[in-house]
Amino acid sequence: MNACSMGNKQEELEATMLLERYDIVAITETWWDESYDWSVAIEGCKLFGRDRQGRRGGGVALYVKEWIESEEMSLKPSLGSDEKIVESLWALILMGDFNHPDVCWKGYTAKNLQSRRFLQCTDDNFLTRAVEETRRCVQPDPVLRNKEGLVKDIKVGSSLSCSDHGKIEYRIVGSMRKTTSRTEALDFRRANFDLFKKRLGVRALEGRGAQESWTIFKHRFLQAQDRCIPKSKKSGKGSRRPAWLSRELLKKLKWKKEVYSAWKKGLTALEYYKKAKASLELKLARDVNKKCFFKYIGGKRTTRENVGPLLNETGAMVTEHAEKAEMLNAFFASVFTAQASPQEPQNLEESEKHSWLTRKVPVDWRLANVMPIHKKGRKEDPGNYRPVSLTSVPGNVMEKIILTAMMWHMQDNQVIRSS
């Protein structure tokens, strides 16, 4: 669909996806920029997108249900021309606003040279148009496919909010691989914490070093965890109704769809459809986001994005995952401080006492999972990512204990005077 700006249409998009049970939604003219990054996530969907840089408008987005195995592919210029890439694809569907209004699809002719080249490219690659003119004799955005029968049940639906482009709905024929989660998570609701505490216990660790004490505690902890806390397989998130989407709003959406269908068949006037559409938009604007606001905002901030192509020092595009990881690792290493942080104990009293006396910490506490998070600017620049470090929980707890003791000392002894 052509959204003509997604600025105030995100809620209607979510409601429509839930009502129509779409598996894939492609959007052109999102008009998104960096300020929208926190608010575009939809629960149960992966988002692939590209925003226009430097000026207003443009932008594309693709929402894909999480149960569908999907991945963004970055193509190197060395692979050849676009035509050769298209030839290598077994099944191809191209959709969107191609900006060739002078193309006459019935006669397969065009006035402008660029449009004629576009038609020649589609002809050379056996791409045919799947959508015809609507009842109002309006040319919808074309859907091109390289195989007959790849796209079925095509229909042009109502527009999204105030956009003047109708939604194009169709079914893709073929098999697809479903993602099966093999991740196991600890089910704390069924955990036996009393037995866990007994099995963990406290054994004498005197005379052992920090590393040996930690290794013994870790081994005992993992054994108790396996015995006392059952595991369950993590399932992908389904499409749950957003907290703000009431049944009344869903009824309004269904009413709008029925009125649009009646208008297409000539059973109702255009003015009546516009009235129904305006009524829905007013309802969305007035009632949306009143309940469960913080839960809703929290869900919108969980958008996950894979790191796209990066530019190396010579300006060349890097697309391989291993090379991108090396580039980000090199950049993060250049900005990390070499300062050692203090570590913690609680039930690890002996282990951390040795650590404190010997000024050495176990190896596990010095390990961290570093995730790159995009800050701002061009996503191709490694310098525009910041590292988020997931370190050892015992180390973090000890850090807070030491910080609290330091703060008490400074307050009690008035080390820092109030200014």
353-412 pLDDT per residue, tens? 777 777 777 788 777 777 777 777 777 777 788 777 777 777 777 778 888 888 888 888
Strand-pair category, 60-65 with 24-28:
antiparallel
Is the pLDDT assigned to residue 274 strictly greater than 70? no
Instruction: Tell me the torsion sign for CA atoms 208, 212, 218, 223.
Output: negative
| Closest-CA residue to 64 (of 239, 231, 200, 245) | 239
State which H helix or E strand residue 15 sits in: helix 10-20
Q: Which residues pair with 238 in a beta bridge?
A: none
Distances (CA, A) of 5 to 51, 61, 134: 12, 12, 23
Lowest mean pLDDT among 6-10, 63-67, 189-193, 371-375: 371-375
Q: Which two tokens stand for residue 1?
A: 């669909």
CB 272 within 8 A of CB 169: no
Residues shown for the chain: 419
pTM assigned to the model:
0.55
Q: What pLDDT is stored for residue 353 in this prediction?
A: 73
| Domain residue spans of the chain | 184-235+307-412
Query: At 338, is the pLDDT very low, low, confident or very high (cuts 50, 70, 90)?
Result: very low
Q: How many CB atoms lie within 10 A of CB 148?
A: 9
Distances (CA, A) of 86 to 9, 93, 123, 128, 160: 33, 10, 12, 13, 31
Q: How many CB atoms lie within 10 A of CB 53?
A: 13
Q: Where are the beta strands (DSSP E) in 237-381?
A: 310-311, 317-318, 369-374
Give the type of residue at 356. W
Average pLDDT, the chain: 74
How far, in Å, CA of 91 to CA of 123, rounded? 16
pLDDT per position as a tens digit, 62-82:
999 888 888 877 666 555 555
Distances (CA, A) of 75 to 24, 82, 93, 320, 323: 22, 10, 17, 10, 15
Query: At 243, is the pLDDT very low, low, confident or very high (cuts 50, 70, 90)?
Result: low
pLDDT per position as a tens digit, 197-218:
888 766 656 667 778 878 888 8
Question: Which residues have CB under 8 Å from 68's CB, separation 6+?
Answer: 23, 24, 176, 177, 178, 179
CB 309 within 8 A of CB 74: yes
